[in-house]
Amino acid sequence: MLDDMEPKGLHQYWKTEFLPDQSTAYLEAFRDGALSVTSPLSYSVIFHIGGAANERDRDDGAVGNRDARFISGFSGVWPPADNRAAEHVAWVRNAWARIRPFSTGGNYVNLQLLEDDAGRTAAAYGKNFERLRRVKAEYDPDNLFRVNRNIPPVA
């Protein structure tokens, strides 16, 4: 779905949040963040989440934040010849900071960056994180599978 929005060879930096709804205050914050964009290749998104993700019980599977109805965020995109990387990253961080107060507290784990810490990974799974840690302790107690967004086993 996103392949055409992310052509190879461009630099990109993004931040996203799960949202429970779209209040007027959120939409104003989103608009203000989006309108301060620094690169014409960048984008601001609101994706609707529906169906099975919201219809299952909160502890059904690994998915967290089943109360989320939207994913929203900002993606700074610029060509390699553009030497304003710091400016584009700052735009994303500032715009994202505007919408964070409206978040469920979680985020989509596949949209995390290397800089995102373990707390952000835990927030992606919500209340399921501790259960996943117990499962990991049983099936991968030595934490062999830890390269991606790690769920450390319970000690």
Per-residue pLDDT band for 148 (boundaries 50, 70, 90) equals confident
40: nearest Cα among 82, 100, 4: 82
Q: Residue 5's CB: how many other CB atoms inside 10 A?
A: 12
| pLDDT, mean of residues 110-130 | 88
68: nearest Cα among 96, 43, 47, 85: 47
Per-residue pLDDT band for 65 (boundaries 50, 70, 90) equals confident
pLDDT at 2 over 70: no
Q: How many residues does the chain have?
A: 155
Instruction: Please report, rounded to a whole number, the percentage of residues in the chain having pLDDT higher than 70.
Output: 88
Return mean pLDDT, the chain.
89
pLDDT of residue 155: 85
Domain boundaries, the chain: 10-116
Q: Hey, which bits of 25-79 come out as E strands?
A: 43-48, 70-78
pLDDT by residue (tens digit) across 24-46?
999 999 999 999 999 999 999 99
pLDDT of residue 146: 86
pLDDT of residue 136: 94
Q: Which CATH number fits domain 10-116: 3.40.630.30, 3.40.50.10310, 3.40.462.20, 3.55.10.10?
A: 3.40.462.20
31 or 54, greater pLDDT = 31
pLDDT of residue 110: 84
- Looking at the chain, the number of H-run helices and the number of E-run strands are 5, 3
Please give the torsion angle defined by the CA atoms of residues 51, 117, 150 and 135, in that order, rounded to the nearest 10 degrees.
Answer: -70
- The answer to whether 15 touches 74, Cβ cutoff 8 Å, is yes
Instruction: Please report, rounded to a whole number, the percentage of residues in the chain having pLDDT higher than 90.
Output: 61
Joined tokens for residue 9: 């060879």
pLDDT at 153 over 60: yes
pLDDT at 15 over 70: yes
120 or 32, greater pLDDT = 32
